[in-house]
Amino acid sequence: MKPIYTLLFFVFFAVAQKNTAQTTTVKSGVYITKEDFKNNRLTEETDCQNDKETFKKHDFFSKARFTVMRNGKKTTYLKKDIYAYRDCENSVFRFYNNQEYEIKEANTIYIYSVRQVIVAEDETDNNPLFYFSNGALGDIKKLSVANLKETFPNNKTFHKLLDAQFVAPNIVETYDAAHKTYEVNYLYKQSVE
């Protein structure tokens, strides 16, 4: 009798998982302002799973314009007039100086990445480059100890923590799984407490 209960349990569990997966849909669209981003308020919102024609971006060669195709309707924005967009993979990209930067973490220090594909002989390197900004609207700079110190010039405790933690100055993009944040944000938080 016990094997039938075990089988029924697994059947009900599988059905529940399937129903849960179907109810969580990804929405894509445009964040006009940083407040829209912080409040998760999308413009040109599209349900990526159920809409006939999903949100698509057409952005090549760092153009100043950003075009959204949705339900056969074309809407064009100037990148300087919008904050970011979220794609159907649930990644969010901020526009800054006509470039797209993927937001990896929105904390005191925003962490971004940009994919850089380098083809050399028979090998392809697709490692991301990391950037940061001081808050949602700060200038985006290459993530390095020197740039962090320049951005936070009066926080000497932060400077000391950076120097102690990052002996190799180019390895600043470490994610701290124990604290569920990037290491630089954890150190910054420690420096202001």
Q: Considering the domain boundaries, does residue 192 fall inside one?
A: no
Model pLDDT, residue 71: 72
Among candidates 126, 102, 112, which has minimal Cα distance to 184?
A: 112
Does 176 map to a domain?
A: no
Mean of pLDDT values over 169-187: 89
Query: pTM here?
Result: 0.78
In tens, the pLDDT along 11-68 reads 454 544 444 444 456 788 899 999 999 999 998 887 777 655 555 555 555 678 877 7
Tell me which residue range forms the domain holding 54.
26-96
Query: Could you tell me the pLDDT band of residue 122, with boundaries at 50, 70 and 90?
Result: low
Q: How far is CA 120 from the centre of its chain?
A: 28
Q: Is 74 among the domain residues?
A: yes
* Residue 116 belongs to a domain: no
Decide the pairing of beta strands 56-58 and 118-120: unpaired
Does 86 have pLDDT greater than 50?
yes
How many domains would you assign to the chain? 1
Q: What is the pLDDT of residues 130-163, one digit of tens each?
A: 999 999 999 999 999 999 999 999 999 999 999 9
The set of residues, in sequence order, having a beta carbon less than 8 Å from that of 6 and lying 6+ positions away, is none
Residue 86: inside a domain: yes
Residue at 113 is within a domain: no
Domain-located, residue 167: no
* Residue in 148, 143, 131 with CA at minimum distance from that of residue 171: 143
Angle in degrees, 0-180, between the axes of helices 183-192 and 156-165, rounded to the nearest 10? 140
User: Which pLDDT value is given to residue 19?
Assistant: 44
Would residue 35 count as lying in a domain? yes
